[in-house]
Amino acid sequence: MTTYLKQFKFIFFALALSFNCYGATIAISPSDDPYSEIQEALILAQPGDVIHITEGIYKLEDSLSLDVKNVILEGEGIDKTILSFKNQKSGAQGLFVTSDGVILRDFAVEDAKGDAIKVKGVDGISFIRVRTEWTEGPSSDNGAYGLYPVESKNVLIDSCVAIGASDAGIYVGQSENIIVKNSRAEFNVAGIEIENSYYADVFDNYAANNTGGILIFDLPDIPQQGGHHVRVFRNKSINNNTDNFAPEGNIVGEVPRGTGIIVQANSHVEIFNNDIGDNETINIAIVTYGYETEDKNYYPHPKAVQIHGNRFGKSGYNPDLKTGDLAKVLYELSDGNMPDIFWDGIVPLHQILLGQPDEDKIILGDNGEASFLTINGLKYILPFFDPIERDYEKFRGVIKPLLPVKFSD
Amino acid sequence: MISFKKILFALTFTLCSFNIAFADVNDSIIQNSEVAKKLSDYGFFEDLVSQSPSKEVLPYDLISPLFSDYADKLRFIYIPSKGFAEYRPDKVFDFPEGTVLIKTFAYLNEYPGSDLDQQLLETRLLIKKSNQWENVSYVWNKEQNDAFLTIAGKTISTQFINNNGDIQDVRYRVPNINQCKECHQSEKSIQPIGPKARNLDKDFVYEDGVMNQLMKWHKQGWIKKDIKVEAMVDWTNDLASIDNRARSYLDINCGHCHVKGGSADTTGLYLDFKENREIHLGLFKKPIAAGRASNNLKYSIVPGDPESSILLFRMKSLDPGIMMPESGRALEHKEAVRLISKWIKNL
């Protein structure tokens, strides 16, 4: 008997060793102290290890963090392994990742007091079939961001779900080389937001029932700015008619209910083959950053935005005149005859007088029956001219497709 | 008989001297790739319980310390013999291999007539080995006679006597190793925060008398002579200017994350002592990723209006999704809130 046991032990040991070569699997199941168990596994993991959390609801009072490279943290399904932070007592996020090459898959983070999953300063991060949700519906008491990679490179978000964030469900900030695909963002203030980032592909996503569906933003006074090269295609951005519930002071607090897509102060953005409709205020808005800033490196105007091949449903039929300036201004300018696509037309003064360089222009391709409205800066400052421009054809041009995003080595 | 007694005496003496030898700091344990399981293994203390250091270990103090839920902090430094720390302006000293910074967090409960005994909570070490700093924490046991390695952090729900002599409850959190890094990280490597020359330039009561700490360190042969620094202001010093006191407090409590290369640099809010651009100090600065922590306020700091300033709101909050700092605080630091409030009012 003892020899058998010894043999068994030996085999087990050998197995464990051989596993170790490829990375061990550390399994975690529900227990009395799930926090310590998961957090200890996250700290003691070696690069290449898999931390496998079995099906169940794990009630956590403190924030989890991972700082070991190339670890896979996985559950048993987006609705099966649930990390619940409903009773969180410390830590500003549910899970915080600061190491390169981590894969997060098949689990959910619910009701974090701050952000759900924050990833900062890494090269390589994958979110696959991960859900972040505030379970009691839209509320300004919900955390700001669901999936939140920032200052990172080579970011993949695939087949994820983000619900209820009081800022953005999926938020990629100050990052580079980004793919967000096959994901669903609902009942957030912003469904998907790409901010101050370079090279992003956002496609095959479903953004519905948010305040604004998809936001491509650039802001001043932060380390990385001048967001550029963002492709938004084959998405559905529909029915984004939830009242804005962002706490005031936040930039998304300015987004009117009923917005499909907003591009603010980015350059080289291509929006194509999307279904955008049933948004009560506007389907697509292209706007300048609306506040004064002394940041000399910051360029507040959008440029080189191309829009083509989109299918538009109705919009502008119930604009949100109470939130921010966009809807109000647009409603007055358009006399209530709201367009599908709006560009505020604001450019630097010398360009008002001399015109925009060709490479900076907004280009429209075929967009079915879509209507367009912009403001002519020169006519706006001169008396007796109507600055409102609705002539779609004036902005029609040859589309120069942007290249697909590639992850760097 | 007499001779036997003598032998016994001699034997006891030898054992004792062995004992003393064991009380010396153990360099090989410090250098070991695996960290020791308990604090006593290192030999930093002649008497662990009273926290009396071994003779090679020097206590020190900072002009302005970081707030940690009103915990008292006992700081010590060990530098191996012949070790020398290079001075770097505005940064912590470049300490030699084998240096250990030792910090015990405790509620000493020294308030006169206190009903509560002293409680040692945890002892954190920063160990310099293979040219990198490693951070570990040892949590004191119930018996309070040793502290044990803790990886995942720990919650200690306890009580202490506050400045008014009242008993106060606290959910004290021992940070896990990753949380230590969140504050101690600078450009991807771990760095000590406190022991900058400008934060050490003050007198300390040593066993053999009072001396300026930089002078003492020089006499130990650890640092060069006559380091000239603009000393930090003690934020509790009523005689100093409000501006200096506030900036000193923000520097040591916020500036290690809110600095270029720190954990909070994504926000563009920089609170280190050297920052002088108004927007980056938070004046009329809109929040970037604050979410509900903005409390419907528009700017980090509104000069003259503390109640409209997000910074003050987050210093007061006890909600984990709002409060600043993000970790290491479960109570409001009332005295500091008063100071920062006054500072914003005067801006």
A295-349 tens-digit pLDDT: 889 999 999 999 999 999 999 999 999 998 999 999 999 999 999 999 999 999 8
Q: Which residues pair with B119 in a beta bridge?
A: B107
CA A371 – CA A237 distance, rounded (Å): 17
Nearest by CB to B291, from A39, A61, A114: name it. A114
Distance in angstroms (rounded) separating the CA atoms of residues A233 and A207:
12
CB distance A173–B151 less than 8 Å?
A: no
Cα nearest neighbour of B259 on chain A:
A223
Are B326 and B250 within one domain? yes
Residues B260 and B329 in one domain: yes
The pLDDT tens digits of the residues spanning B216-230 come to 999 999 999 989 888
Task: Answer whether B120's CB lies under 8 Å from B140's CB.
Answer: yes
> Which of B185, B219, B253 is the endpoint of a domain?
B219
Asked if the C-beta of A87 comes within 8 angstroms of chain B's C-beta atoms, the answer is: no
What confidence category does residue B11 fall into, taking pLDDT thresholds of 50, 70 and 90? very low
Residue with the larger pLDDT of the pair A15 and B45: B45
Cβ-Cβ contacts under 8 Å between A and B: the total is: 139
- Is A140 in the B-facing interface, judged by CB distances under 8 Å? yes
For a pLDDT cut of 90, what percent of chain A falls above it? Answer: 85
Q: Cβ contacts (< 8 Å) between A147 and chain B: which residues?
A: none
Task: Name the closest residue on chain B to residue A41, using Cα atoms.
Answer: B152
In terms of DSSP H, where are the helices of B24-88?
Answer: 27-31
Q: Establish if B83 belongs to a structural domain.
A: yes
- Contact call for A114 and B293, based on CB within 8 A: yes
Dist. CA A4–CA B80, nearest whole Å? 52
Element (DSSP H or E) covering residue B89: none
Instruction: Let me know if residue B50 belongs to a domain.
Output: yes
Three-state DSSP class for A219?
Answer: coil
Asked if B32 and B177 sit in the same domain, the reply is yes
Mutation site, B176, B260, B302, B327, interface A, largest A CB count within 10 A: B176
CB atoms within 10 A of CB A405: 22
Task: Say if B13 falls within a structural domain.
Answer: no
Does A386 contact chain B (CB < 8 Å)? no
Residue of B nearest to A89 (CA): B320
The reply to whether residue A39 touches residue B263, judged by beta carbons under 8 angstroms, is no
Is A174 in contact with B321 (Cβ distance < 8 A)?
no
Report the DSSP pairing between strands B72-78 and B57-60: antiparallel
Q: What pLDDT digit, counting tens, does each position of B81-134 carry?
A: 999 999 998 889 999 999 999 999 999 998 888 889 999 999 999 999 999 999
Domain's final residue, options B219, B253, B285: B219
- Select from B219, B254, B278 the last residue of a domain: B219
Regarding whether B211 and B152 lie in a shared domain, the answer is yes
Residue B227 lies in a domain: no
Flag whether residue A141 sits within 8 Å of chain B, measured between CB atoms.
Answer: yes
Apex A336 CA angle, A333 and A339, nearest 5: 75
Residues B177 and B42 grouped into a single domain: yes
Beta strands in A151-291 (DSSP E): 153-158, 161-163, 168-173, 176-181, 184-186, 190-195, 198-203, 206-208, 212-217, 228-233, 236-238, 259-264, 267-272, 275-277, 282-287
Question: How sure is the predictor about B186, in pLDDT bands with cuts at 50, 70 and 90?
Answer: confident
Residue B12 lies in a domain: no
SS3 A394: helix
Give the per-residue pLDDT at A112. Answer: 97
Q: Are residues B189 and B328 in the same domain?
A: no
Give backbone dihedrals phi and psi of A379, rounded to 5 degrees, phi first: -65, -30
ω into residue B325 within 30 of 0, thus cis? yes
Q: Do A221 and B298 touch (CB under 8 A)?
A: no
Does B113 reside within a domain?
A: yes
ipTM of the complex: 0.79
- Identify whether residues B40 and B130 lie together within a single domain: yes
Report the distance separating Cα A297 and Cα A227, nearest Å: 12
User: In this predicted structure, what is the pLDDT of residue A22?
Assistant: 63
Which of B292, B301, B311, B324 best tests the A interface by mutation, with the highest count of A CBs <10 A?
B292
- Cα B104 to Cα B176, B196, B235, B243, B303: the distances in Å are 16, 19, 22, 30, 38
Please report the pLDDT score of residue B328 as a whole number: 86
Let me know the angle formed at the C-alpha of A309 by A307 and A313, rounded to the nearest 5 degrees: 95
The model's pLDDT over A285-303, given as tens digits with 9 standing for 90+, comes to 999 998 888 888 999 999 9
Residue A114 touches chain B, beta carbons under 8 Å: yes
Residue-range definition of the domain harbouring residue B266: 242-346
Quick one: B119 and B250 in the same domain?
no
Q: What is the pLDDT of residues A74-105, one digit of tens each?
A: 999 999 999 999 999 988 899 999 999 999 99
**What is the pLDDT at residue A397?**
95
Within-domain flag for B132: yes
Q: Is residue B4 part of a domain?
A: no
Burial class of residue A199 in the structure, from the number of CB atoms within 10 Å of its CB (0-12 exposed, 13-18 middle, 19+ buried):
buried
A248 touches chain B (CB under 8 A): yes
One domain for residues B195 and B252: no
**How do residues A116-162 score in pLDDT, each as one tens digit?**
999 999 999 999 999 999 999 999 999 999 999 999 999 999 999 99
- Verify whether the Cβ–Cβ distance B321 to A221 is below 8 Å: no
Question: Least CB-CB distance to A90: which of B173, B279, B310?
Answer: B173
Distance CA A64, CA A109 (A): 11
Look at A43 and B152 and tell me if their CB atoms are within 8 Å: yes
Residue B211's φ and ψ, nearest 5 degrees, are: -155, 150
- Has residue B16 got a pLDDT over 70? no
Binary contact (A63, B320; C-beta < 8 A): yes
Q: Which residues of B touch A96 (CB under 8 A)?
A: 178, 182
Relative orientation angle of helices B177-184 and A34-44, to the nearest 10 degrees:
60
User: What confidence score (pLDDT) does residue B112 get?
Assistant: 85
Residue in A63, A96, A249 nearest the CB of B298:
A249
Does the pLDDT at position A3 exceed 70?
Answer: no
B184 & B43 share domain: yes
- Say yes or no for a CB contact (<8 Å) between B151 and A42: no
Report the chain A residue with the minimal C-alpha distance to residue B263.
A120
pLDDT tens-digit map of B28-63? 999 998 899 999 999 999 999 999 999 999 999 999
Residues near A4 by Cβ (< 8 Å), separated by ≥ 6? none
Residues B267 and B198 placed together within one structural domain of the fold: no
CA distance A33 to chain B (A): 11
Give the residue on A whose Cα is nearest the Cα of B331: A90
Q: What total number of domains does chain B contain?
A: 2
Residue B77, SS3 per DSSP: strand
Helix, strand or coil, per DSSP, at residue A24:
coil
Q: Which of B285, B286, B319 sits opposite A113 (nearest CB)?
A: B319
* Out of A141, A148, A249, closest to residue B294 by CB: A249
CA distance, residue A256 to nearest chain B CA (Å): 17
B202 and B313 in a common domain = no
